[in-house]
Structure formats: C-alpha cells, structure tokens
Amino acid sequence: MAWLGDTPTPGDPGSAAGVYNVRYEFNVRVPMRDGITLSADIYRPDAPGRFPVVLARTPYGKNTQRAWHYGNFFARHGYVFVWMDVRGRGDSEGEFVPYRNDAKDGYDAIEWLARQPWSTGDVATWGGSYLGRIQWLTALEKPPHLKAMIVHVTPSDPYVEWPTGTPGPMHVCWNRMTDGRVLQYVDKIDWMKVYEHLPLVTMDEAAGFVSRHWREDCAHPTLDEWWEPLRYQHRFHEIDLPVLHVSGWYDDEQIGTPLNFAGMVRHAPSERARRGQKLIMGPWGHRVNESRKLGEVDFGPEAVIDLDGYEVRWLDYWLKGIDNGIGDEPPVRLFIMGANRWRDEHEWPLARTRWTKFYLHSGGRANSRFGDGVLSTEPPATDEPPDVYLYDPARPVPFITDPLSSQIGGPDDYAAIETRGDVLVYSTPPLDRDVEVTGPVKLVLYASSSAVDTDFMAKLVEVHPNGFCQRLCDGMVRARFREGMHKEVLMEPGKVYRFEIDLWNTAQVFKRGHRIRLEIASSAFPKYDRNLNTGEPLATSTRMVVAENRVWHTPAWPSHLILPVIPE
C-alpha cells in the first residue's frame, strides 16, 4: 500500500469539503460471468467507512500518468476511483474485440464494485471516446447499481460520423495502436501513404500488420445486424440515468455528444433522468479542456476551465446527495467561439434559433475562392447555370490533419485548398454586423453526376479579413447511401438528386468584416476514404473513374445552407 495527500479536512468524511489520503490496490482481479478476470487499479480514500465508486474502463492502459492523476484526484475528494483494463488489453484476461464484450463486462464490473466493503453500492462510470461509448452500451444492460455517467467525446452509432459504408482510413491507425495487449508505437509509420492504399480491405497490410477487426468492419458496408451490438442512440428510452455530456467543437467525434444530450432530454424514461442531463461544449478537440489554443487559434484565457472540480460537484449531487445547487443550474454550458466566452443555456438546440437559409448563387464559375460563388439569403430567381467540376479519386481534395488518428482536423486554414478548381466556394460579402451561428448546420444540395456513385463534401468556413479561412465544421454524403445506411442505391447519371448533408455543430460569432463561406467538393482525404465513382464494392474495388459533378441553384433546385442564427 501507499499513501498520498493532505490531512483530511475535519467534518463529515463524505462531504464535498473532505480531502483524503489515498490508498492504492493495483492489479486487483475482477471476475466476469464467463470465468475470466479483468485487472483493476483501485484508488480509494484511506479512511473508515464506505464511499461511492467511479469506474473507468480503458483499452489504452490503466497504468499511466493520466490514470494516476484522475485516480488520486477523485479519491482525494471522497470517491473510490477504479481504472480497469478492458477484456484482452493490458493486464486483463481474454481476447480484445472492440466494443463487443464491453456491455456485459461493464455490468459485471459495476455489480462487483457495489458489493465491496468500502463501497456504498452507488457506482458512476467515467471516461471519453472508447471509454464513453462503452458506458452507453453498459447502461443498456441496466446494472442495478449504476447511478450516473460522465461521458466525454463519445462516438456515435456506426455510420453516423462516417456515413461512407467503410471504416474511415484513419481508423486503421487506431487498429494498429490497439493491436495486441498494450499500446503500439505508430508515430513513424508513413500513414498518409498507408491511407492511399487500395483496396481498403488490405490497408492493414500496408501498415505492416493484419487486423481481423478492420477486415470484419469492411465486410459490412450497410447498417446490418453486425453493427447492432455497437448501437445505442435509438435506445435512449431504456436509459434511466443522469448523464454529464462533455465535448469540444473540434472533437472529431463531436456530433455524438449534442445528439446524446438532446436524445436523453427527449426520450429518457423518467422526469428525473430527463432533468438530470448536463451538456458542456468547449473550444477543444478530442482531448477536452487541454489548452486554450488549438492549431493557430487562441481561444483566450476562459477556454480552459476547472472541469475536474465541476465533475466532483456533479457526482456529489447525484451520488452523495449533497444539495450544492448544481441541479438548479442551466443544463447547457457553451463556449461561444469568436466572442471567446462561456454562456449558459436551457436547451439544445437553442429555442430562440432563427433557422436561416443561405442560398447558393453563381454564374456557373464558383470553382475556387477566385470564382463567382455567392451565399445570399435571397433564393434564386432565375435558372442560374450549374457549377461544374471534375472529381478525380487519384487526386483527392486534402483534409488538413495530423496523420495519426488521435485528432482529426481542427480550426485549420483552408485558403490554399480553396485555390483548387475541384472545390466550389460560396461566400457572403463582408458582414456589416456580428452574426452568431450556434447549433446544428445543414446543407440541402441539389446535384448530379456523370457517375453512378460519388461523394459530396461540405465545409463551413469563417473568412477573416487577413485571408485566414478557418474551418468550423463539415460533413458529407455518399450518393449510394442518400436514402439511408440500410441500403445502397446507385444514381442515374445526369439526374439531379436532393442530398441533405449534416455539417455537425458549431458555436461561432462571425465578426463584422468577416465572411461566411461554404466549400463543396467530392473528397476530404484522408478523413474519409475516396469514392472511386464506379459503384463497385467499396472495400475491394481498385478501379477509378473521373466524375463530372454539377451543383444546381435554380428556383426548382435551390441549393441552400441552413444556419442556426442566434439573435443579438
């Protein structure tokens, strides 16, 4: 055993004021129903009595500096904090199959922890990304002693973030990182070259290994029964729990967090659970609350908050019954970029939103930022000529990102990308006043193609007076899945189709003198795999054709961007 910390504050040892010494128990074996054991490191207050438990289950290794920080922090504040290696990872027995065993293992772990002599029987779960999704999957198993969840940067259901019918190319980096029992070193692999490999199904070999999990996922391009064990967003009505949802506007899995908050507020089975949802969205990437600066953008001194302290307050309310006022506070806390300040709200999306249509216009030459593309709140009055570009899968439009899968994109400058002729650019004139856009962003696009299948990508950009073109949010549609991910329906070449593209969410004040801009292309590589335009099977095809794609903006086909404008 070892100890760390200050002398406990006198008074009720379960109060928010208590600061405890910490006792450690490493590599504790926790039995699962099938006889294997998972390994847990337990940080608990070194004091008599029972304490609520916070459980984090990870495939990334529980014996890290980060684990040490959080284990000690929560234990010092009166919680037993348990880090556990998921099945087949680290010191846990069994085989690692991503997500497939975590729901039942989570149930067994929670119920085991509830029975321990130092436990009050009240358990919360905590963690982000993989650790977040498996909390939702565990909650569907309804462990009786699970009382609350804190979920960061949570992945959505399959094909919500990447509606392509394939794993994203950068996911193969994650597969390599989690290959075997411990984290693998991936920094020196030439990932951009790996992502160019065709066919997709053997991209793992291009990275120097073979991944059964990558290949199995590639074999299921539609939302079939294979994916059902990984889905939870259609089952919020089964989850009767308070949840603290945390993410960042530049989290590469950001779309799930606001969806989950709104879904639980609307569909959770009890009024207590519906009122027990909290949402925090900061100016962060996939690692929340890490820095005031992301890429080239400094979000100011308010960007980093005492998130740890807030989480303790929230747990004190739900697990210790301390009436600290958090239940009466507004449920939504948003960082408004551009203004660089936090604001409390009462719902998501905001009730006062003015859903404003910005129509696409041009004289048929919106190619690049040097073209004639315009965004306007006035719909097309005449049949404007379509904007035409060639999409060549051998020369895709780049998506600016670090090549590792740990963070995909950020507030990057797309000025250079916008010089390409296969990128359509539509901009407002410089704004004569500040305009706040906070909420979900959507594009209704009328488009046609010479190909039977192609992609359409859309990106919302803020253009600064100095020429910096800051990415805010983006999304895409693969034409064969325009009717949903349950089936593939190819296009008729030359026919105009209506596409809806979810550009995810943002909270941005476009300053006076800045411009609102929309980019449209047919690739964003390597965030998304390249559509080869042939309609052939996605995972195994290698043949490419060049597609001539057209974007229409006429009275009959009025392509338009829908922005959630917030009144001053």
Instruction: Report the alpha-carbon distance of residue 289 to residue 406 in Å, rounded.
Output: 15
Backbone angles phi, psi at 238, to 5 degrees: -100, -5
> How does DSSP classify residue 386?
P
547-552 vs 435-449, strand pairing mode: antiparallel
Cα dihedral: 424, 430, 432, 433 (round 10): 70
Residue 299 in contact with residue 31, Cβ under 8 Å? no
The Cα–Cα gap between 504 and 358 comes to 17
Q: How far apart are the two ends of the chain, measured CA to CA in Å? A: 58
Element (H, E) at 309: helix 307-319
Q: Which of 408, 406, 410, 404 is nearest to 191 (CA)?
A: 404
Bond from prior residue into 349 cis (ω within 30 degrees of 0):
yes
For residue 150, give every residue at least 6 positions away whose Cβ sits within 8 Å of its Cβ, in sequence order, or none: 54, 124, 125, 126, 127, 243, 244, 246, 311, 314, 315
CA count, 13 A, side-chain hemisphere, 145: 20
Interatomic CA distance for residues 283 and 285, integer angstroms = 7
- 157 alpha-carbon distance from chain centroid: 11
Beta bridge partners of 387: 551
> Which residues have a catalytic role annotated?
129, 251, 286
Category of 535 on φ-ψ map: left (φ > 0), alpha (ψ -120 to 50) or beta? left
- Tokens of residue 130, six digits: 């993989």
What distance lies between CA 150 and its chain's CA centroid? Answer: 15
Cα-flanking dihedrals φ and ψ of residue 342, to 5°? -90, 150
**CA 83 – CA 94 distance, rounded (Å):** 17
